[in-house]
Structure 1
Amino acid sequence: MEKREACAEINRRLEEALAGENPGKSWKEAHLRDFRAAVETLSGGSNTVIVDDWGLPSVMVRIAACRNSDLLEKGSEAIHLAFYSKGVMQEEIYISKFQNVLIDGRGYSLPLRTPAYGINFEQALQACRGKGAGWNLTPFALRAALALETRRKGFFPHGNSDNGVDYLYREEHGESEEEGVVRTGSGPVTWSHNGGRDGIYDLTGNLNEWDAGLRLVDGEIQVIPDGMWMQEDCTMGEDCWYWRSITPEGELAEPGVPGALKYTCGEDGILLTAGGQTGKDATGNCAFGNIRAEAGLQIPELLYSLMLYPEEKEGYDGWRWIKSGGECLPLCGGGYRALDHAGIFFVGLTYPRTHNYNLTGFRSVYVKPGNGR
């Protein structure tokens, strides 16, 4: 099948599948087989189609496991934390090629659709987990791995950062929708994470995406390590016992332990500190590369590998926002109004899990059950 014919076939099947009250039932095995074959052919095998327990497909990008040394200038040979599920190392993980749409409350990665927006963290989490075994909300650790990979390769993806166009490259635009959002995958190839049609679209701009496994609590950095975000009993709620703080030695500890790493903010941006008081409830921001550390503070590799602190002071895009009071969860990439602050390294840690507004979206991931080693 020629590429042009394959694209037309995909769009036709999508229209058929999304028609009716229960779109999952309109897919037949032959249609799924043809759809998957077309996607894999067009991407050279790096993209595929994975169905949930309703039999409804999502276009996914395969990401092979890598080491910290592949992503950092001075990284160790340890496998990056993004590639663990329930404490077991995974050979690969699949991430949505597109920001997800909602169909009957579930998230799906489909091209040229209006992505779901205006939802809170809990809604995004349920939209992914409700799809069946192996599905979950994108972990922050995976976003970190992808961002660090783009930096090592010298390419930062562009995106919809100014109501349908890229703020810095204004000739680049997507197919505009209401509220400044563009259709999934409608931008140029520079809006994919690797600059190619087989890449992940809109990690920069369009919508800020909720990610799993990271939060601030009164400025203290807390993570859910080792892929335990995939555990059935890991609610990621405020009182979830899987949350861990980080010490300057890179050890994981109970939340609130003396000496845990924290962010504080002021007029000069964001400061990384160890223990002590973060001061008043305040909001601060700076370019990611301009985050500073208090004098003499040891920076563990874990913070570099999770893009929580810059390994170097230059060579990054995107800004970092933090709030030093309350529980705040990550919104990533910068939305369609982020202007020059957008970027794959953009992370906003200023809003609670209950917050929803027109700049929030999400994407799902899939880990094959029993695929670890």
Structure 2
Amino acid sequence: MSLDVQISDLIAATTDLTEAVNVKKQVLDDRADTATGAADEAATSASEAQASASAAAGSAGTATLKANAAAASADTAASIVTGGTATLEPAAGKIPLANSKGHISPDWFIVDQLRASVEAASGGRMTVLYTANGAPCHMHVFPAFNLEDVAPGGELGSGLHPAFIFNGQPASEIFVGAYLSSMMGSEAVSLPMADPRTSINFDSARGLCKANGSGWDMMSNLDWAAIALWCMANGYQPNGNTDYGRHHTNKWEAARRQDGFAPGGSGTARTLTGSGPAAWSHDGTPAGIHDLVGNVWEWITGMTLQDGRVWLAPDNGLTDEPSLIDTGFDLSNATQWATHSSEGASMLVKQSLIAPATPALSPEGRLYVTAEGERMPYRGGDWYNAGIAGLAALSLNRDRANSTSTRGFRLRFRAQ
């Protein structure tokens, strides 16, 4: 083969190779362009996705801020209205918050379950009031009555009994402790099945009552007199713990002694509040005022004996000693409630159950008097007094500093 032919064949082969290389390069360039386009699209999609995510995060943040703002607004409103915050669950000082379905729990409509249950069980004759620190007190709701309702013959005068007059203003009811006062921590309360607080002097007992907050006080002599006169007008006198955990004549009437011993015998035989039968309440029902007769004597306000002369509160808002008035009634020689003379007794003295108005309004109970100096009153009798105890039982033979395990006190509340 000639040289010219060889050179021609070499040029043809080189041309074919160049064309093949150019074709391959074009394919690779096309693929590179496609990959670059896909990458650009992917980057664009990623940027868009990131923007969407940022927008979603922004929306979520906005929603969270709005939710927090709404919750803060609800709490602010709750604070303005009740001094608390909004919650799903009922609680004191809160306002209701709907759940995810827009429903408010039915429990919100009976927030105070204890009060609701006590009022339902008693037909509204007993309720639960709370001390300044939130301790519950079972209180009997004692409605007002006129004097002519209990003494139609006018023996006690007419108009509201002074127990329902406070600083000259009438009240439709008073709230009297359904039970002798016991202690919950440092607070005086009125609760069932508790050991009565005793061994306390007059001023300390009253101080505990007043410490419960506005409207709270110790039971007054006018409260006691109104209850006793109501009982007599209804032909009923309650029994009580007058024989070491039982009644001295109806010995089957017994209660639970705080010392754990069986009724009768000896010992410190206070009984747990309200643990006796219904016959030991002022109206013969479980919703009444328990243990007025026997168990422990009860300090009362609104009365003193000064050298044998009776000083009384003219109404139930004037029970502090500086407000008492000298009735001029002398008990120096009195020995028995039902037999001591009512001569010279004013209507207030009779309305206060210091002197009997009529035999029909003369409950049982012994009168004790020491005629020298200041003597502070306590009423009702204790667990070993037998027939000495009663609604009329009144002791005026101790000063305000005296205290014994046979004497306690009872709460009274008047809405302001």
TM-score (norm 1): 0.77
Deviation readout 1:55-98 (Å, 9 max, x if unpaired): 11100011111111122242332211111223321111101000
Flag the structure with higher strand content. 1
Alignment partner, residue 60 of structure 1? 139
TM-superposed deviation, 1:32: 6.6
Alignment partner, residue 47 of structure 2? none
Alignment partner, residue 279 of structure 1? none
> Is the Cα–Cα contact under 8 Å of residues 135 and 184 in structure 2 kept in the other structure?
no
Alignment partner, residue 316 of structure 1? 363
Q: Distance in 2 between matches of 1:310 and 1:203?
A: 19
Q: Distance in 1 between matches of 2:111 and 2:372?
A: 48
Deviation readout 1:330-363 (Å, 9 max, x if unpaired): 1110011111111111111111110000111111
Alignment partner, residue 352 of structure 2? 306
- Secondary structure at the counterpart of residue 133 of structure 2: coil
Mapping for residues 1-373 of structure 1, pairs under 5 Å: 29=92, 33-72=112-151, 73-74=153-154, 75-178=156-259, 179-229=268-318, 234=320, 236=321, 241-246=322-327, 260-265=328-333, 270=334, 285-286=335-336, 288-293=337-342, 297-313=343-359, 315-369=362-416
TM-aligned CA distance change 1:190 to 1:32, over 3 Å = farther
Q: How many residues align?
A: 300
- One-letter identity of the residue aligned with 1:347: L
> Is the Cα–Cα contact under 8 Å of residues 137 and 365 in structure 1 kept in the other structure?
yes
TM-superposed deviation, 1:299: 3.2
Query: Comparing both chains, which one has the higher relative contact order based on Cα–Cα distances under 8 Å and sequence gaps of 6 or more?
Result: 1
Q: Distance in 2 between matches of 1:307 and 1:119?
A: 25
> Is the Cα–Cα contact under 8 Å of residues 88 and 226 in structure 1 kept in the other structure?
no
- Secondary structure at the counterpart of residue 331 of structure 2: strand
TM-score (norm 2): 0.69
Q: Distance in 1 between matches of 2:240 and 2:136?
A: 25
- Secondary structure at the counterpart of residue 382 of structure 2: coil
Q: Distance in 2 between matches of 1:187 and 1:114?
A: 13
Alignment partner, residue 19 of structure 1? none
Q: Distance in 1 between matches of 2:280 and 2:349?
A: 27
RMSD between aligned residues: 1.8
Q: Distance in 2 between matches of 1:330 and 1:119?
A: 14
Where structure 2 has 5 or more consecutive residues not aligned to the other structure, the ranges are 1-89, 93-106, 260-267
Where structure 1 has 5 or more consecutive residues not aligned to the other structure, the ranges are 1-26, 247-259, 271-284
> Is the Cα–Cα contact under 8 Å of residues 329 and 345 in structure 2 kept in the other structure?
no
- Secondary structure at the counterpart of residue 174 of structure 2: strand
Deviation readout 1:255-299 (Å, 9 max, x if unpaired): xxxxx221122xxxx1xxxxxxxxxxxxxx32x211125xxx443
Q: Distance in 2 between matches of 1:366 and 1:132?
A: 10
> Is the Cα–Cα contact under 8 Å of residues 67 and 76 in structure 1 kept in the other structure?
no
